Structure 1
Amino acid sequence: MTRSVNGSLRPGAVSVGTDDDLARRVHSAVLARLADESGRDRLSPADQRQLVLAWIQAELDLEARRRIADGAPQLDQGVERSVVRAVENALWGLGRIQALLDVPDVEDIHITGCEAPVLRMTDGSIRRAGGPIADTDADLVQQLQYIAAHHGSSERAFSPAQPCLNMQLPDGSRLAAMREVVPRPVVTIRKHRLVDVQLRDMVRLGTVSPQLARFLAGLVTARQNILVTGMPACGKTTLLRALAREINPRERFATLETEFELNLHRLPNSPPLLYAAECRAGSTERDPATGRPAGEMTLSDLLHQTLRMSVTRVIVGEVRGAEALPMLEAMNAGMPGSMCTLHAGSAAEAIERLITATMKGAGSGWSDAFVTRLAAQGIDYVVQLRHTTLPSGLQARFVSEVAEVASVGENGSVAMNRVFGPTSDDDPRAVFQLLPQNRRPFREAGVDLGFLQDSGGWVR
């Protein structure tokens, strides 16, 4: 069979449908006809698809004639449509996982072995899927191995030697999976429903107030280095996308990620000078010069190469470890206006975590005091997000704090100036509190901060 690249066919597992047995029989029959079709590789992908769809319909017509002969009830149109969709998913999509991705308003998909998956919806509710998407745990692993090999931007392994899989799916969703180190294979898929997003959309969604949105846009215009922080699933990536849309389209900038997630390069109106880069795991062979996996490209590697690509800014999807050092070096040496995200519970904690990550990347040759100064000089603002569940059960994601990184205090810690923050425990959303101490970058960029003196309520 042909590799599943850019819409070509693959012999994947058929999806669970209204009539599972029929879907599997139709799928098997179509695969047999494909194996016998000597000229199919000469067809265009569109013609090939039309031919296969005709075969699927022919198999359904054959099933209808069988049922008439046997005096059995005829298939209704809903069942026929589900069978066609299941076979299409098996041939062109992600097999039985595709049906989960097609569920409206799903945000997170959690799969444990051959159990029925659990879906978290955009409103925070949790649902159990109608049935499993794998016959056995081993079947789930096989599906993931095929997806890893054929449906990412580069081929990835999912094996006992490499038991963790992280990749972007063709629709932009993020897949993370584990095996061997867990009792049963587990999968989490995060759907990104807000990709083409701007700050005005963040206002509409209640993530920021109109006043705060204007200030954040001013930070980008004034080329301030921004660290977007928060706990998992609080909206860091979405806000980072919105901030990136404020960059002047005449600027050349880069997005660097372990797995593509920002997806700015996939937008129809993608910035013309943007380039996007993704890490590569490398092979099982070792480079004799470095001892690293051959072909490996880490975030640190990408950052160092980016310095030679004439970019004015860098956006790092998430800083976790060794890449913190080159990121801060870039921010301190000619790339103002860069941005990144980091997991942290507060703005102050974010700086501490960044310093810790930088120390790990720097090794023993750098002192705590030097790295602290590097962080204080490199980061201009920390934008902290929160994610909470309201009494109604609905999810709320919002900016709770915007802190200006001021200087290193006498005690060796980083001093911060809270520009936006909550005014009470009853409402944790960020409102304007103090003007930035360093207003020179705003003046030079033509950003008038006078609007901060106006009342700036939240829309929602």
Structure 2
Amino acid sequence: MAEGRTTNGHAAQTRLGGLLSERAGQRAATTAPPRLMGAAKGGVSLPSPTLNAVVREMPAGSGMGVADTGAAADLPGVLPVPWTEITALRQQVANDMDAHKRERRRAGDVLEDQDQEELARALVRKRVAAWAQEWSLKNPPLGGEELERVRSEVFNLIFLAGALQRVLNRPDVEDVLIDGDVMLVDAHGRPQERLRSPFSSREQAIEWVNHMAGSSGHGERMLSYTTGRVDFRLPDGSRVAATLLTTNIVIAIRRHGLERATLGDLVQRGAVDPVLATFLSAAVKAGLSLIIAGNMGTGKTTMMRALGREVPAKERLATLESDRELYLDNAGTPAHVLAFEAREGNGERDASGRMTGEITLAELVTISLRYKATRVMVGEVRGEEAVAMLEAMIAGGTGSMCTLHARDPESVVDRLMVPLTRAGLSDQAAYRLVASAVDLIVYIDAIDESDLPGGRMHRFVTHVWETAGLGERGGVALSRIFSPREPHEAEQGLMPEVRAVPTRTPVSERRMARLERAGFDRRWLPGYPNGQWPALDLVKP
């Protein structure tokens, strides 16, 4: 029964990209997803293929694992020479490369990425060899390992992330925060590590930020006292935000550990079970429009990335983001993907007060439809793009998706109302727009035990709602299709569960018909009332 609510690839091109999926191969406890029984309770036989057809094998890695990360004190390391020597060598090599590329261009030749890296390694070795001779005249000569460290730092500063590279090379690292002299590292399945900063001074950290921002293609984004914050991407696609608006310089790096995530990967990580994975896969293939909601760090982007790879190959998908995180425009996505990115202004304003050169997410929604995109995915809805997104869903963008920040499941529609009403819609118009445009709302939650011995972060879907028009009090009516089961709700054979399990509420016949055409069997929902979740390995009871 409806519940009325009045409130509601780039990484593949870098050395780091190959490491992002290797953590999956280290998790022996989850190497295979749970399999379906031959028949459901009550004698309901399930047709072939079973739900596990949607679960794909995770690529197994052969690189670093947990045992290879080393002691915390060894991670950033200590440079054998002053940082100024490294930056001077980097500038010399950069000048050498620019001169070499100019000569190649005059000859009508262009260096490919791999050729540029090979050239850089040769130039680094040549420059460091000459520099080492001069250095030894006034300082103790460097050993072989120390010289190799200098060569690596110079190369990393040109192509990768410089002083941070040894930390970012760890495939389990998800977030890094540098605050002055301290660096905090959050890794999957590990307690937070507190290390020293890889930068010896504030000036060195600012220089690194500005060098990497310039190398990212965002040359207009510089960190200074007049521009107190900057956002950019590292070569591996990680998102960086740096600011001088705090007591110390603060640098936050957000990693995309599951950049090529599929629903099968999420099953193995415990974010969904095979029943729910098959339902969501069919929903995408059937062209249902989804909102993926959750709190910060729960895996909304990873979920949408996995669902984007369920879009049929015959379709054209446009991804719209303020900063690229989805990375669906690679060989791992069946559909044709156009990856749009909003553009910041250059600081000047025109007569209307608009930043010169600015392209907003709301404008990208309209722009993407001109390229005959059959679906639109907005990285995160925060402002006026909410209206454009929902109108695009109604106007033919069936199967479109977006993510939305919401602190709890019950506040999703309320949270979506904020940008809609801010754009000038009345409450009634906003509710009608949501009810008409959205088919399903998926909520992701997390239990964080990473601060406990043996604990980790558990991320999983807790709710799936179907919109059911307007409620009696004018809000959006929602039907719970999947939700947790509280202990007081437990009946015989139905166990308490904090993750999403099928409810007794049926999907509307119109949408169920579309799901069945996409390969879903309606008998799977009542046939598996407890879902197929593996045991949740919580540390605390």
Please give the TM-score of this superposition, normalised by the length of structure 1: 0.86
Equivalent pair of 1:117/1:132 in contact (CA under 8 Å):
yes
For each residue in 1:252-277, what CA deviation from the matched residue of structure 2 results, as whole angstroms up to 9, or x when unmatched? Answer: 11000010001111x33344521010
| Pairing 1:106–2:158 present | no
User: Aligned residue for 1:257?
Assistant: 321
| Pairing 1:55–2:115 present | no
Equivalent pair of 2:76/2:164 in contact (CA under 8 Å):
no
Equivalent runs, 1:142-291 vs 2, <5 Å: 142-152=207-217, 155-180=220-245, 182-265=246-329, 267-271=330-334, 273-288=336-351, 290-291=352-353
Equivalent runs, 1:436-455 vs 2, <5 Å: 436-444=506-514, 446-447=517-518, 448-455=521-528
Equivalent pair of 1:432/1:452 in contact (CA under 8 Å):
yes
Equivalent pair of 2:444/2:460 in contact (CA under 8 Å):
yes
Could you tell me how far apart the structure 1 residues matched to 2:94 and 2:372 are? 49
Equivalent pair of 1:257/1:278 in contact (CA under 8 Å):
yes
Q: Secondary structure at the match of 1:400?
A: strand
Q: Secondary structure at the match of 2:497?
A: coil
Q: 1:57 to 1:220 in 2, by over 3 A?
A: same
Q: Which moved more, 1:185-194 or 1:442-451?
A: 442-451
Q: Which moved more, 1:313-322 or 1:56-65?
A: 56-65
Could you tell me how far apart the structure 2 residues matched to 1:46 and 1:171 are? 15
Q: 1:387 to 1:56 in 2, by over 3 A?
A: farther
Could you tell me how far apart the structure 2 residues matched to 1:403 and 1:29 are? 57
* Structure with more relative contact order (C-alpha pairs < 8 Å, separation 6 or more): 2
Equivalent pair of 1:96/1:133 in contact (CA under 8 Å):
yes
Q: Secondary structure at the match of 1:342?
A: strand
| Offset, 1:73 | 8.9
Q: Secondary structure at the match of 1:449?
A: coil
User: Aligned residue for 1:122?
Assistant: 188
Q: Secondary structure at the match of 1:274?
A: strand
User: Aligned residue for 1:323?
Assistant: 385
User: Aligned residue for 1:334?
Assistant: 396
Q: Match for 1:371 among 418, 430, 439?
A: 430
User: Aligned residue for 1:384?
Assistant: 443
Could you tell me how far apart the structure 2 residues matched to 1:110 and 1:369 are? 43
Could you tell me how far apart the structure 1 residues matched to 2:340 and 2:97 are? 39
For each residue in 1:343-385, what CA deviation from the matched residue of structure 2 results, as whole angstroms up to 9, or x when unmatched? Answer: 1133331111101211112x2xx32111111112211111111
For each residue in 1:4-25, what CA deviation from the matched residue of structure 2 results, as whole angstroms up to 9, or x when unmatched? Answer: xx99xxxxxxx96444317754
User: Aligned residue for 1:12?
Assistant: none
Equivalent pair of 1:26/1:60 in contact (CA under 8 Å):
no
Gaps of 5+ in 2: 1-12, 15-74, 105-110, 488-495, 536-541
| Pairing 1:87–2:159 present | no
Could you tell me how far apart the structure 2 residues matched to 1:138 and 1:22 are? 13
Q: Secondary structure at the match of 1:183?
A: coil
Q: 1:342 to 1:64 in 2, by over 3 A?
A: same
CA RMSD of aligned residues (A): 2.9
For each residue in 1:164-183, what CA deviation from the matched residue of structure 2 results, as whole angstroms up to 9, or x when unmatched? Answer: 32232221111122223x22
Equivalent pair of 2:483/2:500 in contact (CA under 8 Å):
yes
Could you tell me how far apart the structure 2 residues matched to 1:19 and 1:311 are? 50
Q: 1:286 to 1:24 in 2, by over 3 A?
A: closer
Matched to 1:151, the amino acid is S
Could you tell me how far apart the structure 2 residues matched to 1:144 and 1:94 are? 10
Identity of aligned residues (%): 33
Equivalent pair of 1:160/1:179 in contact (CA under 8 Å):
yes
Matched to 1:292, the amino acid is R
Q: Secondary structure at the match of 1:96?
A: helix
User: Aligned residue for 2:420?
Assistant: 358
For each residue in 1:141-174, what CA deviation from the matched residue of structure 2 results, as whole angstroms up to 9, or x when unmatched? Answer: 2322232233146742434444332232221111
Could you tell me how far apart the structure 1 residues matched to 2:227 and 2:89 are? 35
Q: Secondary structure at the match of 1:417?
A: strand
For each residue in 1:416-436, what CA deviation from the matched residue of structure 2 results, as whole angstroms up to 9, or x when unmatched? Answer: 111111112663111111344
Could you tell me how far apart the structure 1 residues matched to 2:224 and 2:90 are? 30
Please give the TM-score of this superposition, normalised by the length of structure 2: 0.74
Q: Secondary structure at the match of 1:21?
A: coil
Could you tell me how far apart the structure 2 residues matched to 1:257 and 1:38 are? 32
| Pairing 1:405–2:467 present | yes
Equivalent pair of 2:289/2:400 in contact (CA under 8 Å):
yes
Q: 1:421 to 1:30 in 2, by over 3 A?
A: closer
Q: 1:334 to 1:163 in 2, by over 3 A?
A: same
Matched to 1:459, the amino acid is P
Equivalent pair of 2:320/2:365 in contact (CA under 8 Å):
yes
Q: Which moved more, 1:384-393 or 1:250-259?
A: 384-393
Equivalent pair of 2:77/2:198 in contact (CA under 8 Å):
no
Number of residue equivalences: 436
Could you tell me how far apart the structure 2 residues matched to 1:437 and 1:272 are? 27
User: Aligned residue for 1:310?
Assistant: 372
Could you tell me how far apart the structure 2 residues matched to 1:407 and 1:35 are? 63
Could you tell me how far apart the structure 1 residues matched to 2:410 and 2:433 are? 16
Q: Secondary structure at the match of 2:123?
A: helix
Could you tell me how far apart the structure 2 residues matched to 1:100 and 1:126 are? 13
Q: 1:24 to 1:252 in 2, by over 3 A?
A: same
| Offset, 1:322 | 1.3
User: Aligned residue for 1:429?
Assistant: 499
Equivalent pair of 2:93/2:127 in contact (CA under 8 Å):
no
| Offset, 1:293 | 0.6
